[in-house]
Structure 1
Amino acid sequence: MNTDHPYGYFLNSFDPTSETTGELTRLALADVQKSGLSPETLERAQVRLFKGNTALLKKRLGFAHVDGNPILRARLIEFPYLDGKGNAVRYEYKPFPSLHFKNEKEPRKYLQGRGDAPTPYILPDVWSAKDKGNKPLWITEGVKKTLKLVQHGRLTIGLSGVWNFRGGKDRPDQASKQLWRELEGFRWTGRTVYIGFDSDLLVNGQVRLALYELAFTLYQRGALLRFPLWHEAKGIDDFLVLQGDDPDQALTELEGTARDLEGLICPDHRNEIMGALYRTTGAQGVNAKVLIELTAKKLGLKAKDIKNDIAQRRYNELKQAVDNSLYPYFINDTGGVCRWRRERDGNEAYSELSNFTARIVEDVTIDTGLDLTRRFTIEGGTKDKTFPRASVRTTEFLNLNWVVNNWGNDAIIRAGQSTKDYLREFIQIHSNHNSVKRRTVYGHTGWRQVDGTRCYLMANGAIGADSVDVELPHEFLETGRYCLPKAPENEKGAFDACLSFLDIGKAEIFFPCLAYVFLSPLTGLLDPMPGFSLYCYGERDSLKTSVAVLMLAFFGRHGRAGLSNFDSTSNSLMHRSAILKDTLLLVDDLYPSSAAKEAQRKETVAQLLIRACGNRTGRGRLNPDSTEKVAPVPRGMVLLTGEELPGLQSTLSRLMTIEFSQGDINTKKLTEVQKQAGLFPHAMSSFILWLRDRITSIQADFETELYELRKGPVVENTSRKIPEHLAYLRFAWKMFLQWAVEKCGLKEDVRRECLDIGYEIFTRVADRHVCRIEGEDPVKMFFEIVGALLTQGKLRLDHKDSGYAGRLGGDSGELIGFFDDGHYYLLPVPLWHAVQTYLRYEGGHFPFSKTTLYETLERRGILETKGGKRDHTQRLGSKVVSVLKLKRGEKDVFRGIGDDAQE
């Protein structure tokens, strides 16, 4: 072809004279020439014939065939939509000949990309003037009309159709329902805008409606509107072509004779005008009132009548559009919740309750085994934004405070006294119209009957049952905590790892610790439940916490971070001990404190927790309505570590103490076993499955053996609690070894040997603990204090007969009583006062009351009574006094004091 063709850029190497393809090329060229578009205009707008392959066309349009026929059989004019920098953002094509689509009566003149929004056609020069309100703008239909006006020096925006100044009802972008975002970016206030639709607007009602709607929308944004009208041709491009040699003058005259908005409004167009007012007023802008008054004046109506008509139209459309199944509520087109209300005049009006909607998608029951609570999982959002799901307790649901707590300022509840009540009712009604998933989750570990099946709950589900949901409180949600494999692997290797645990150090430490670990899943199966806790006691750096964490490793992946400790409140620890049923809870670090109050607080926490675990009771409390709250009762085994022993004999009797000293642990071996800790959960999972199949027989065996197991060498010397603790450890050790025989291949003779070794070690540990308990005897402590004060000379005991000559204590000491060869005659008031004064200065506290002390002395045969009375009236010299009469001899409470003096 001739490369000097004036439309060379547009032709893009296609030859209009070609015998094979020239006809289609000539049709395309004739089309742009008919509109009077110059080569320069086309090149500036990058408009040319498409010269690409099928792949490129499909990339731009999303399709390359029409009803099976290749689009490239036609000649295509390419109209790129450019951004402000001249880069193409999408493409529109005009085919020659026009293409027929199935089920469409008319051939399609233009092709747009699949899924492309029909946004306005705006050239870079027009983009550059978007903020310049002093620059007039034209708005017309189609790309060719736009190019023609641009060719004559007019800044022009092209619409792909008279309605395509906005996105329509179904667009997700709310702003596009009034104007496309591209148009919203222009400054309209004070700008002269010529709306040049085709001349058939005077006879086409739909074109008039679109014209009025666009005009009213721009008017409310402050635009100065002009409406040029012509009759010689349909489109503005055709009109300018008909003007011959002087189209610029004709265009200037057309602008000069253009009507303003008041001149355009005509009573004959009332239906279109009212429809446009109804769609545009109230959407945006401040000129709606002026527009309504102007329209009322031109149509000969009252502004009030127009407002009522608009309101009625909106009401009618809304009633048809909304889902009446939620009546009196509905969801508006912005995603907010509205409510119909009856006005005094009998008409219905609506008010918005919120800018969002919400519904319950899950109704979850949380079963902790102690009580049942419920929560809702709620999803919500606006038309343009989906909120994250909110988990809301039912006790918090009614007040709707959870809305802001979960969704922040994006979720707005409108003002009003009853708004929250109405919105809450809507959420429940809306939820019932959709499927609400109902499920039960278990909020504890340990044994549980689920749908008739006995299973063991852990944080990752259940051992022995499928599809069981378990959710532990957030403090247990660290990855891997209290998680066991549902199908154990390498049971033999796991058992070998357990044996390695025994070799870490001193047998008196690791045998009881391992037995205690395997007692934990037996807790809820045995009746009565174990009534003691294991206390790892030792100085700092004795590695007691490292061993305790290794014990926790049998129940999942645990670390030192986040452990429970004695800085927590007793209520917190009680709650955790109730949640961790039939498993192990570690409470770490009962350490010494330099502050007396802090030391007393930790001692109180320890006392409450140890006693609660020993007695299997909780602290009772009342609800505001005076009904009793469900008390959290410890339901698992508690492992404690610390550098101080709790006080009180009765508290120590609810413990088994394991003493740690430096050098008791082989650190190298400890490190090796820590590397094998990943096998421990498999051992525990296998043990639990083994227990599950034998629960009935195990319970029967324990009931039969408990009496025999309680018998032991410590029974004669101390409280019956210690042999009972010993019985539980021995039974757990027996079950552990029996599991090893049946599941891990342990030989029977080895089992018997290990059983005897374990029993012997447990007995030694119990004997050692008995000594600690006896050392905490309050009676012994009381008279040790009195004896020390006598030795220091701060107190004195006078001989009943000889007085000064046989005195015990200091000559100037406070008199607390008398003695003879057979008895002590103690004065109750100064005796008690002396001990209390000493303890007060020492920062201590005597655990018994005066009455309890006397009763204990009486039970032990130390205090003599007469006729059920503890006080004896005794003449001492010239005085008759009331005294406590204590026996001497083998039970002499002051044995050894003053022996030298008496000799």
Structure 2
Amino acid sequence: MMNQSLIPYQKNQDDRQVAAKEIDHKSQRCADMTEQYENGSDEKSYFTRRFCMFQRYRKNGVEVVEKLCNFVAMINKEIVYDDGFVESRYYCLACTLADGVVREVTVSSTEFSSLNWVARKLGAKAIIEYNQRRHIPAGIQTLSSKIITVRTYSHVGWRWLDGQWRYLTASGAIGSDGLANQYNVELDGKNRHYAFPRPSRIGSSATQAVLKLLELASPEQSYPLFAAIFLAPLCRFLPVDFSIFLCGTSGSFKSSIAAILQSFYGKEFNARCLPENWSSTDNAIAKNAFIAKDSIFVIDDYCLGNTNSKALESKADRIFRGAGNKAGRQRLIGGALTNQEHYSRGLIIATGETVPSALSTESIQARLFIIEIKWMNVATETLTRLQTDASSGVFALVMSSYIQWLAGHIDAFESIFKNRHRTLTQQRNRSQWHSRTPSNLAFLQIGLESALAFFRLNGTINEKEYDSLYEKGLDALVHAAESHELKIHTSRPEERFLSSLAVLFDAKKVHIVDADTGLTPRINKGLKRWGWIKRNNEYVAQGTQIGWLKGNDLYLDPQIVFKQVQSYCNEREAEPIQSSRKLWQCLYERGYLASHESSRDTYTVRKMIQRARKSVIHLNASSVYPNQPTTSKTSNKENSND
């Protein structure tokens, strides 16, 4: 027989009956569970009695009963959180101590076996017997015979569910048949505002309210934003790999405009309640951007202020680079395994007073579509009207209906959109543009086309209105792309180098000398622009000598000039040029090098300067100062191997 001394019992029979009536059916099932044990078996079995958990087994033919803990825990529900990339599991347990009170606790599957959650969740009265920790997880799982498994989706956007595409939101899943509520969607924090009303056929008044957005600012500003709204739900089927940056001074209404765009994805969003802010950690921003799949995700208020500027710029670089690459950074785990970090799966719209200097590099700016907002260009009365419609849910209803329309045609649309993007990218390709710009423009054009097609097929705009809006919108998108391309051009290393060089000359921080004499360059006019000043009827060099001039040939000392330009960038807290070799390569590829020695695999050239052979960077003087007068005495073109 079982050794009863192993089962401490302090309450009398009446007290036990009273306690049993006070607990719910889950705890009652724990207390009344019959022993799961067959006599003669060598296998361990687990059972509960008087709100304690035991194990019983045979050892050397002798029956042994051991107490594991002074509480009973049973798994009632297993929740599978699905973010569209990985699944994480949590166990919901009903735990009962000697007081008979049921405590509902939730524990991650990775933490469950460690039992570290016991003290944290159940408190000091929960006691695990000595050397029994390893048996309790198995006991809990064995005794939990009725476990309900629930799948909970923890993201916004498209999923293939029950044979059709549905768009997950905090209010349910939108499919071609409308809003379905049988799917569990759990969103935390501000992400819970990604909620839509039940889709219905929209009228002309709702369409006109949306089209008012096109009157909010200039066409080059409003049309890209309009297109972005309707492009975001297509991210699941198109590799949308750029972000939009609204740049404007304080008071330019950039946050209010961004809030209008965000309100299409939930009426609770407004200028004071946006999904994210640049003051959050980069991990928090990346995670929330990952959750906001196939939707607009606003990150508000990039402002250096009193914060660590380098850390903030590094944060922006990570977020935009991840969105542009559609991948997070890989992290090494255990020497071999890697873990995928979060990244944006929708369309980021960021706001800031200035574009971060860390984003001034060409590779990052090409992943952005920068739109400058000026307060004088914003129609404030239109903005007020748009804010009213946004808070009343008009825009969220339009987006809900738009998503339902997409859901019914996705199988056909996916190939159409991809082929259309490929065709438009080829059509928009320009030799002087960055390779990403035609693609970004094509994405926005598809967003515009999709929105207008929805309104046209819905019968809320006629064919004439469609043609007019499309023609005007296309022209505005092209002009916006050209404006953005100009920003990319000025961010290129070679352009930044040449503009910095001109500033250094004008500030008299550097100068050049004549290549033959080492004295004042022989220039008819404009000597002051090369780092010289006139004093007592004589020209005097200022600053550091960085090179030599001969005719229109400008020879620069590679080490000295690079050091001076880098120092200038540091003084301005601007992004430094990465490396001198990368810079010379960019100058060569853009045609700024007047000569170089390809046989030596170098971008420098050897020249006879002041009767000595020197390796220099050879530019045309007009590259720094276009139309600058050259020496009065014309020099012959030197060979690259002089």
TM normalised by structure 2 equals 0.83
How far apart are residue 719 of structure 1 and its match? 1.3
**Is 2:409 the counterpart of 1:694?**
yes
* Corresponding residue SS for 2:608: strand
Tell me the percent identity. 25
Whole-angstrom CA distance in 1 between matches of 2:305 and 2:326: 29
How far apart are residue 716 of structure 1 and its match? 4.4
Deviations 1:524-583 (A, max 9, x none): 112xx1221111110011111112122111111224236312222333322222222111
**Is 2:605 the counterpart of 1:872?**
yes
Greater shift, 806-815 or 791-800, is seen at 806-815
Aligned partner of 2:480 among 765, 774, 777: 765
Alignment match, 2:489: 774
Whole-angstrom CA distance in 2 between matches of 1:873 and 1:703: 51
Tell me which amino acid in the other structure corresponds to 2:309. Answer: A
Deviations 1:433-464 (A, max 9, x none): 2x211132222221111233211111232112
- Structure 1 residues 608 and 322 mapped into 2: Cα distance closer, same or farther (>3 Å)? closer
**Is 2:589 the counterpart of 1:859?**
yes
Tell me which amino acid in the other structure corresponds to 1:423. Answer: I
Alignment match, 1:203: none
How far apart are residue 686 of structure 1 and its match? 0.8
How far apart are residue 855 of structure 1 and its match? 0.7
How far apart are residue 616 of structure 1 and its match? 1.4
Whole-angstrom CA distance in 2 between matches of 1:895 and 1:166: 102
Whole-angstrom CA distance in 2 between matches of 1:490 and 1:845: 49
Contact map agreement 1:806 1:902 (CA 8 A) in 2: no
Alignment match, 2:47: 330
* Corresponding residue SS for 2:14: coil
How far apart are residue 791 of structure 1 and its match? 2.8
Larger radius of gyration: 1
**Is 2:145 the counterpart of 1:412?**
no
Alignment match, 2:55: 339
How far apart are residue 602 of structure 1 and its match? 1.3
How far apart are residue 175 of structure 1 and its match? 13
Whole-angstrom CA distance in 2 between matches of 1:878 and 1:501: 68
Aligned partner of 1:532 among 233, 242, 266: 242
Alignment match, 1:809: 531
Aligned partner of 1:637 among 343, 347, 356: 347
Alignment match, 1:685: 400
Tell me which amino acid in the other structure corresponds to 2:624. Answer: V
Contact map agreement 1:343 1:349 (CA 8 A) in 2: no
Highest relative contact order (Cα 8 Å, sep 6+), 1 or 2? 2
- Structure 1 residues 873 and 349 mapped into 2: Cα distance closer, same or farther (>3 Å)? closer
Aligned partner of 2:91 among 376, 384, 388: 376
**Is 2:170 the counterpart of 1:459?**
yes
**Is 2:451 the counterpart of 1:736?**
yes
Alignment match, 2:618: 885
Alignment match, 2:220: 508
Contact map agreement 1:620 1:629 (CA 8 A) in 2: yes
Whole-angstrom CA distance in 1 between matches of 2:454 and 2:191: 30
Q: 1:647-686 counterparts in 2 under 5 A? A: 647-677=360-390, 678-686=393-401
Alignment match, 1:445: 156
Whole-angstrom CA distance in 2 between matches of 1:747 and 1:551: 24
- Structure 1 residues 491 and 393 mapped into 2: Cα distance closer, same or farther (>3 Å)? farther
* Corresponding residue SS for 2:565: helix
How far apart are residue 824 of structure 1 and its match? 1.6
Contact map agreement 2:154 2:185 (CA 8 A) in 1: yes
How far apart are residue 383 of structure 1 and its match? 6.0
- Structure 1 residues 350 and 393 mapped into 2: Cα distance closer, same or farther (>3 Å)? closer
Alignment match, 1:208: none
Tell me which amino acid in the other structure corresponds to 2:84. Answer: G
* Corresponding residue SS for 1:524: coil
How far apart are residue 760 of structure 1 and its match? 1.5
Whole-angstrom CA distance in 2 between matches of 1:902 and 1:357: 100
Q: 1:96-245 counterparts in 2 under 5 A? A: 168=14, 171-173=17-19
Contact map agreement 1:489 1:682 (CA 8 A) in 2: no
Contact map agreement 2:521 2:549 (CA 8 A) in 1: no
Whole-angstrom CA distance in 2 between matches of 1:446 and 1:856: 41
Contact map agreement 2:97 2:126 (CA 8 A) in 1: no
How far apart are residue 633 of structure 1 and its match? 3.8
* Corresponding residue SS for 1:847: coil
Alignment match, 2:41: none
How far apart are residue 397 of structure 1 and its match? 0.5
- Structure 1 residues 630 and 468 mapped into 2: Cα distance closer, same or farther (>3 Å)? farther
Whole-angstrom CA distance in 2 between matches of 1:360 and 1:328: 17
Contact map agreement 2:232 2:294 (CA 8 A) in 1: yes
Whole-angstrom CA distance in 1 between matches of 2:33 and 2:330: 53
Contact map agreement 2:191 2:292 (CA 8 A) in 1: no
Contact map agreement 1:441 1:468 (CA 8 A) in 2: no
How far apart are residue 469 of structure 1 and its match? 3.0
What 5-or-longer segments of structure 2 have no aligned partner?
A: 1-10, 23-30, 38-43, 523-529, 533-540, 635-642
* Corresponding residue SS for 1:629: strand
Whole-angstrom CA distance in 1 between matches of 2:366 and 2:434: 8
* Corresponding residue SS for 2:449: helix
Tell me which amino acid in the other structure corresponds to 2:497. Answer: F
Whole-angstrom CA distance in 1 between matches of 2:572 and 2:419: 49
**Is 2:196 the counterpart of 1:475?**
no
* Corresponding residue SS for 1:358: strand
Greater shift, 460-469 or 792-801, is seen at 460-469
- Structure 1 residues 373 and 654 mapped into 2: Cα distance closer, same or farther (>3 Å)? same
Tell me which amino acid in the other structure corresponds to 1:440. Answer: R
Alignment match, 1:544: 254
Contact map agreement 1:371 1:630 (CA 8 A) in 2: no
Deviations 1:460-514 (A, max 9, x none): 3211274553444523454xx1112343364544323212333344433332212
Contact map agreement 2:262 2:274 (CA 8 A) in 1: no
Alignment match, 1:398: 113
Tell me which amino acid in the other structure corresponds to 1:413. Answer: I
Deviations 1:382-430 (A, max 9, x none): 3654444222110010112223333334x51234122x22222221111
Alignment match, 2:28: none
Contact map agreement 2:170 2:187 (CA 8 A) in 1: no
Deviations 1:76-95 (A, max 9, x none): xxxxxxxxxxxxxxxxxxxx
Tell me which amino acid in the other structure corresponds to 2:156. Answer: T
Whole-angstrom CA distance in 2 between matches of 1:386 and 1:456: 41
Alignment match, 1:617: 327
Aligned partner of 1:753 among 465, 468, 472: 468
Contact map agreement 1:793 1:809 (CA 8 A) in 2: yes
Tell me which amino acid in the other structure corresponds to 1:575. Answer: K
How far apart are residue 625 of structure 1 and its match? 5.2
Deviations 1:668-701 (A, max 9, x none): 3323322222111211111111111222332333
Whole-angstrom CA distance in 1 between matches of 2:13 and 2:419: 82
Contact map agreement 1:338 1:354 (CA 8 A) in 2: yes
Structure with higher strand content: 2
Aligned pair count reads: 582
- Structure 1 residues 166 and 430 mapped into 2: Cα distance closer, same or farther (>3 Å)? closer
TM normalised by structure 1 equals 0.60
Q: 1:222-371 counterparts in 2 under 5 A? A: 323-325=34-36, 328-333=45-50, 335-340=51-56, 346=62, 348-351=64-67, 353-371=68-86
- Structure 1 residues 718 and 784 mapped into 2: Cα distance closer, same or farther (>3 Å)? same
* Corresponding residue SS for 1:444: coil
* Corresponding residue SS for 1:376: strand
Alignment match, 2:196: 484
Tell me which amino acid in the other structure corresponds to 2:75. Answer: I
Contact map agreement 1:460 1:470 (CA 8 A) in 2: no
Tell me which amino acid in the other structure corresponds to 2:189. Answer: E
- Structure 1 residues 862 and 667 mapped into 2: Cα distance closer, same or farther (>3 Å)? closer
* Corresponding residue SS for 2:232: helix
**Is 2:579 the counterpart of 1:849?**
yes
Alignment match, 1:428: 141
Contact map agreement 1:172 1:384 (CA 8 A) in 2: no
- Structure 1 residues 768 and 551 mapped into 2: Cα distance closer, same or farther (>3 Å)? same
How far apart are residue 587 of structure 1 and its match? 0.8
Whole-angstrom CA distance in 2 between matches of 1:602 and 1:705: 37
